[in-house]
């Protein structure tokens, strides 16, 4: 799980974001959290099918951004864009912001290495999605 802070550049208010990707039976489950204080928390979950995950890994690795992909409640999707529009006053705390990640309704400003970490994690999960297993080592697929 990646954790980082964003800040409203006008008000100075800060909040913590958490982003996790887990390999699950039908693909990759992406969970995003926005924590504003002790009691205020938002959460969004999007399932990336194996095809979504492959498309996202390719797009992030090749271009550093990807279109809306995945399936979540209320038609939620996940996307990664080059740095966000100029009319937004949210910034990444601790570095130069390079990308805008959106998971459902949660939007995060992140540096480039977070996008590269997502691509790396997705690439690492691809063998599991390509070759499902029941856990027996001698299992064969034909």
| Confidence (pLDDT) at 102 | 93
Digitized pLDDT (tens) for each residue of the chain, 142 residues in all: 899 899 888 888 999 999 999 998 889 999 999 998 777 789 999 999 999 999 999 999 899 899 999 999 888 999 999 876 666 678 788 777 778 999 999 999 988 888 999 999 999 998 888 765 555 554 444 4
Paired residues of 110 in beta bridges: 99
What would you report as the CA-atom Rg of the chain, rounded to the nearest whole angstrom? 16
Query: Is 72 within 8 Å of 104 (Cβ atoms)?
Result: yes
User: How is domain 2-126 classified at the CATH fold level?
Assistant: Transcriptional Co-activator pc4; Chain A (2.30.31)
Instruction: Specify the pTM.
Output: 0.83
E strand or H helix that includes residue 95: none
Torsional class of 58: left (φ above 0), alpha (ψ -120 to 50), beta (otherwise): alpha
| Confidence (pLDDT) at 125 | 92
Collect all residues with Cβ–Cβ distance below 8 Å to 51 and sequence separation of at least 6. none
């Amino acid at each position: 799980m990646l954790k980082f802070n964003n800040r409203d550049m006008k008000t100075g208010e800060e909040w913590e974001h958490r982003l996790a990707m887990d390999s699950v039976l039908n693909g990759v489950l992406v969970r995003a959290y926005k924590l504003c204080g002790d009691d205020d928390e938002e959460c969004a979950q999007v399932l990336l099918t194996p095809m979504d995950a492959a498309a996202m890994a390719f797009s992030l690795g090749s271009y550093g951004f990807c279109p809306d992909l995945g399936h979540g409640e209320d038609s939620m999707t996940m996307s990664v864009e080059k740095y966000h529009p100029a009319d937004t006053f949210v910034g990444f705390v601790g570095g130069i912001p390079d990308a805008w990640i959106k998971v459902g309704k949660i939007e995060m400003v992140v540096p480039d290495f977070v996008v590269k970490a997502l691509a790396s994690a997705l690439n690492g999960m691809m063998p599991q999605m390509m070759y499902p297993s029941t856990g027996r080592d001698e299992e064969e697929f034909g």
